[in-house]
Structure 1
Amino acid sequence: MNETSTTRMEAACSLLSEPERRYVLYQLTDRHGANIDEITDGIAAWKFDADPTTVDEARRQQIYISLVHNHLPRLADYDIVDYDLRSGDIVLTEGFEDIKPLLTQFKQTEEDPKIRELPSL
């Protein structure tokens, strides 16, 4: 493995280490695009294990801010998503194909409780 491949792999692992970023990408993969409000509601429901309409506005606003100021810019910097804050639209870009296999592995692990659980020591 050359240095460029190693650097790209480390960047992909770093990007996907954040559950919120993975959730954004899962949603975009399923829909081929989404709106930031839909993603915010989805993360709120997932993070607080609640119906999105029951999540208070302060928590929802925290998620929105973290998306706008952290997660979406990082994904955009690596050409994985493109987003427009005026319209709220988020779409996958060509760079997504580079991390798609790794994201698929993460999703399989997160969906299978037997894989997710760590063996007791």
Structure 2
Amino acid sequence: MVVGMAQELTVVVLSLLDDLALVLSGGLDDSLLFSSGFGAFTHPVRQKVLALLADDGSLTRAELAEKLVRDEDVSYERVERLEVALHHNHLPKLEDYQYIEYDARKGDVVLWEDPETVRGLLDSKRPHA
């Protein structure tokens, strides 16, 4: 049990360090970081979660992890670690900004926001050529 908790804590810390590295690398526009609700879009995993939910409406945490781990932009190699990071970091942040409803016990994730609104926000976050 202690080993499992240590592994979960490690995943959370690594995910937070990932967020910090993104900020320090200049990968974020400060105006986006501090604008209302846009903090949910500051991490590629959260962007991908919202894109998946905009397409499907609702998924479980496990389904999200399985889909995301196959994405080349997501830096997780193991579904289990990604699922822990979703549970402790990414999904609560998205819920705080009221883009999703997350039932931590069941693992159900539902998009609250209109899918077209989310797609528009995601498109505005992508770099333009």
Return 5+ residue gaps in structure 1 as ranges.
Answer: 1-5, 50-54, 116-121
Q: What stretches of structure 1 move > 3 A for 4+ residues in a row? A: 6-9, 94-100
CA deviation map 1:64-92 (0-9, x unaligned):
11100111101111111001123221101
Q: Percent identical across equivalent pairs? A: 29
Letter in 1 for 2:62: D
Q: CA RMSD in A?
A: 3.2
Match of 2:22?
A: none
Provide the TM-score with structure 1 as the length reference.
Answer: 0.64
Larger radius of gyration: 1
**Bigger relative contact order (CA 8 A; separation at least 6):** 2
C-alpha contact (below 8 Å) 2:94/2:100 kept by paired residues: yes
Counterpart Cα distance in 1 of 2:35 and 2:46? 15
CA deviation map 1:96-121 (0-9, x unaligned):
77655221333xx47xxx83xxxxxx
* 2:50 paired with 1:25: yes
